Structure 1
């Protein structure tokens, strides 16, 4: 019985001793999904997330620059949720307003996206020390006071 147990342990260790093999952790980090439009994998969670130039506060400041949050019909839009893909070179791809079709975008939505498109390149995200494209999303709320 002891010999069978010892044999099982040795077999397991030899099987895991391959170069580059990391049990369990290999499958748990860096979740991704295939993007048929871009024809490649896009990651959602990575070891090192992309970073905007100047940090998150500067991103929100940049996104709201020249945006008045009053739509063409006179209504006030208090929040905008947007997402985009940060490519391996830091470029912004497929920016969009979350949960809306393009036809339903308000003037505020369009102004926010216009500002996002003009942003400088980001520091790209990394998975296992390799630059990868990452989908990121941000909610943005405006507090109106007198």
Structure 2
């Protein structure tokens, strides 16, 4: 059986180059920033995040057997000012009928792993914790 390695590429905002930008989250009265002065951080940093996702996201055998190229996959979610992850969404390239079930299983696994993440160090603006919209590109590498 082939070993499957997930390589996680984290989007890291550049501090000081952007003015913090916010929007109001649907159904909530708290602003959600797209860029914060201090970006949220997974406990242990990017290396720990990559390890966590590699251990918790399983690539479906149906896609592995077909050597299916998932193309770009991104998880988008909000990290609350308390560090809790919520509102997880996963996007991918358009699916054909043959791989739709396997990709849906894969996307469900990604959502489940992200929802179970430990609390992050929240983002900050003016020294205060804020909710931040976060995009996490996920690259699947077959090895």
TM-score, normalisation: structure 2:
0.69
2:4 corresponding residue in structure 1: none
CA contact (8 A) 2:73 2:92 kept: no
2:85 is the alignment partner of 1:95: no
1:35 corresponding residue in structure 2: 25
Distance 1:40 1:143, change over 3 A: same
- Deviation, 1:115, is 1.0
Q: Root-mean-square deviation (CA), in Å?
A: 2.5
Q: 1:84 aligns with which of 45, 62, 77?
A: 77
Instruction: Compare CA radii of gyration and give the structure with the larger one.
Output: 1
The 4+ residue runs of structure 1 with deviation greater than 6 A are none
Which structure is higher in strand share?
2
Q: List gaps (5 residues or longer) in structure 1.
A: 1-27
Distance 1:99 1:39, change over 3 A: farther
1:136 corresponding residue in structure 2: 134
Distance 1:65 1:127, change over 3 A: same
2:32 is the alignment partner of 1:63: no
CA contact (8 A) 1:65 1:115 kept: no
* In 2: Cα distance, 1:86 partner to 1:66 partner: 19
Q: Bigger shift: 130-139 or 52-61?
A: 52-61
2:119 corresponding residue in structure 1: 121
- Deviation, 1:71, is 6.0
* In 1: Cα distance, 2:19 partner to 2:91 partner: 25
CA contact (8 A) 1:84 1:92 kept: yes
Q: List gaps (5 residues or longer) in structure 2.
A: 1-17, 94-99
Q: What SS does structure 1 have at the residue aligned with 2:75?
A: strand
Distance 1:99 1:70, change over 3 A: closer
Number of residue equivalences: 116
